[in-house]
Structure 1
Amino acid sequence: MKSLKLFVFAFALLTVHIAAASTTNPIKPTDELRVEMVELIGSSYLDIDEMSADEFSADVLFTVNAKQEIIILSVDSENGQLESYLQRKLNYKKVDHRPSKHGEIYLLPVKMVKQL
């Protein structure tokens, strides 16, 4: 019974170690990819009257698949409308970028500023 507990503990420790080692930190997209994404997003998010604040920000976590399409993994923002807007504008849109390795995850900070 004691050896079974030791085996289960060692297996659990190994599983946690492997899971922690396999997580990747997102990287910044190249300047070319960032420029393409900014063009896809556009500059007219909401009418000036609808914006409750002068600026909104979001962190977009995404990857580029083999078909050179942007796949949005998550959008983190305090504004739910901005999250859905970015999802709609970017998800499955084609770009010229080819990832250097399969499964690269990128983090793009986005800031939408109210223009008067």
Structure 2
Amino acid sequence: MKKIKVIYVALALLATMGVFANKGINIKMEKDLSSQIYEMLKQYPLELKSDDLTAEVRFTINNKGELVVLSVETQNDFLENYVKSRLNYKKVDVGHGGSGKIYKIPVRITA
């Protein structure tokens, strides 16, 4: 009975360490991905009629390493079309393990 308890504790420690190890890699990849998106949107400045435009972009990455925009939630149709045209099917560097997940990122464009 004592051996079973020791095995359970060891398995719990290994599972906990595995969860924490994977979390750091995902956070770094998401921050790198958001900086790549920032650079893609920054390359094409636009003239704004209002001071501040915001949107929430949902996207995934296909097996070719390209962004696929699923939706852009915003009140401004121009911003929606702008984000889709600048990001959809653009190549990003995510390494391995980035495809198949759905990401959500806020986008704010200021004048």
Q: What's the TM-score bracket when you normalise by the shorter of the two chains?
A: 0.5 to 0.7
Could you tell me the TM-score, scaled by structure 1's length?
A: 0.65
Which structure 2 residues correspond to residues 53-68 of structure 1 after superposition, within 5 A? 53-68=50-65
Between Structure 1 and Structure 2, how many residues are aligned? 85
Contact kept? 1:45, 1:112, Cα under 8 Å: no
Higher RCO structure (Cα 8 Å, ≥6 apart) = 1
For residues 17-42 of structure 1, give each alpha carbon's deviation from its aligned partner in whole angstroms, at most 9, with x where no partner exists.
xxxxxxxxxx9871111010111111
For residues 63-95 of structure 1, give each alpha carbon's deviation from its aligned partner in whole angstroms, at most 9, with x where no partner exists.
011100000000010110000000000000000
Which structure 2 residues correspond to residues 96-115 of structure 1 after superposition, within 5 A? 96-98=93-95, 100=97, 102-114=99-111
Structure ranking higher in helix proportion: 2
Give runs of ≥4 in structure 1 deviating > 3 Å: none
Q: Give the Cα separation in 1 of the matches to 2:98 and 2:34.
A: 18
Report the identity percentage. Answer: 35
Could you tell me which runs of 5 or more consecutive residues in structure 1 were left unpaired when the two chains were aligned. Answer: 1-26
Indicate the residue corresponding to 1:11 in structure 2.
Answer: none
Q: Over aligned residues, Cα RMSD in angstroms?
A: 2.2
Which structure 2 residues correspond to residues 12-91 of structure 1 after superposition, within 5 A? 30-42=30-42, 44-48=44-48, 51=49, 53-91=50-88
